[in-house]
Structure formats: C-alpha cells, structure tokens
Amino acid sequence: MKHRLAIIIALAAMLPIGCLQAQKYACVNTDYIFKSIPDYATAQKRLDKYVADWQAELDQKQHEVESLRATYEQESYLLPDNLRQRRKDDLDTRAQEVRELQRQRFGVGGDLDKKRAELLGPIQERVYSTIERIAHEKSYAFVFDRAGNATVLFASEKYDISNQVIELLGYKAGATTQEPSAPKTAKSSSSRPSNPELKPRR
C-alpha cells in the first residue's frame, strides 16, 4: 500500500502542471497521523525495548571478546605454538559469532526488521488502507505525504485529509501521543541502531 502511494507521488512529479490542475488531489501528514494513534506509540516502545535488550546482549559478548583478546595478546609470547594457535582460533571463532549475532539482530531481514513488521506493520497498513479508501471515495487522483523528507514544498490545509484519516481509524484528531521514533516505514534505516564491528587486533 505504501509503495503504491510512493509511486503515485513519483508519477505526479513527472506530470505537466496542467495535468495536475485537471485532477483532484489531497495531502496527508503520516507523522501526525501515527502520533495520533496510541497503539502505535505503545508498539514503538515495545520495539525499542527489544532493540535495547539485543544491543545489551551484543555489547556484553563484544566486551567478552575484547577481554579475551587483551589476555591473549599479553600471554601469547609465553605460550607454545600449538596452544597459541588454539587460543587464536578460539578468539577468531568468538569474534565471528558476535558479528553473526549482530547481522542476525540488526542486519537486513533480521530480527529488528521482522519485529518492526510484526509490531508496527498492521497499524501502518490500516493507515495506508484508510488513505486509499478516502482517495477512492473522494476521487482523488493523487495523495501526497508531506511528512519527513517529502518533496511537497507547500500544501494548503484545506487539502490535508490527515484528520479524516485519524477519525476514520476511530481516534480523536489533534490528540497526539508521544512522538514515535520511526513513523514512516517498517524498514527505515534511521531506526536501526549503531552496532560497531569488533575492534581489530592491536
């Protein structure tokens, strides 16, 4: 649904001005809409908790690897060759496991993307379906999203149907909740936490 709206916006940008003037159009502010949905803020908090727990898990495992690395570097010159190699192989294996866990949690298609789709996806689908419903009922050829980095430079309030969307969803327009950190998409890279790779051997 969201992709269809994005395609409509892209196509509209390529149309001559005269063509746009001949069509009915409207705009929405999805940031405002999502902030008006208490369930969305609740779902975002649950997602943030998962992210915090996963990040803590990664930090702990990375700290363990770095401690093992420091110990290895201090003791390696005292070890026989076979034991030195065994310790090094074990260290490399543990480092690889941490990198793999990082990819599993925060990589493309990983746990974060799946949990985001699970928690936020149904609410987003309701919003975009409601926008499409209004567009069909009002015969709008285009519906622009003026939230975030949208390229709509100006839109008159009388063409903004955000409150209609909120009310059709069963919520009170203007009663915004705490601002969600990822209101736009289920795959927004901005909400993906920073997870530094393991430090190279010094």
Higher pLDDT, 168 or 23: 168
Specify the pTM: 0.68
CA dist 132 → 37, 59, 140, 165 (Å): 18, 43, 9, 10
Extract the tokens encoding 119: 């928690």
User: Distance between CA atoms of 115 and 47, rounded to whole angstroms?
Assistant: 7
CATH topology of domain 2-40+121-191: Protein Binding, DinI Protein; Chain A (3.30.910)
Q: Are 116 and 106 in contact (CB under 8 A)?
A: no
User: Distance between CA atoms of 55 and 110, rounded to whole angstroms?
Assistant: 14
User: Distance between CA atoms of 42 and 196, rounded to whole angstroms?
Assistant: 28
pLDDT over 50 (residue 26): yes
In the chain, the amino acid numbered 139 is S
Q: Are 176 and 41 in contact (CB under 8 A)?
A: no
pLDDT over 70 (residue 43): yes
Taking residues 28-37, what's their average pLDDT? Answer: 92
Residue 27 pairs in a beta bridge with: 144, 160
Give domain limits for the chain: 2-40+121-191, 50-115
pLDDT over 90 (residue 65): yes
Q: How confident is the model at residue 125 (pLDDT cuts 50, 70, 90)?
A: very high
In the chain, the amino acid numbered 155 is A
How does pLDDT run across 67-120, given as a tens digit for each residue? Answer: 999 998 898 888 888 898 999 999 999 999 999 999 999 999 999 999 999 999
Q: How confident is the model at residue 46 (pLDDT cuts 50, 70, 90)?
A: very high
Q: Are 131 and 143 in contact (CB under 8 A)?
A: yes
Quote helix, strand, coil % in the chain, to nearest 5. 65, 5, 30
| Mean pLDDT lowest among 21-25, 26-30, 31-35, 133-137 | 21-25
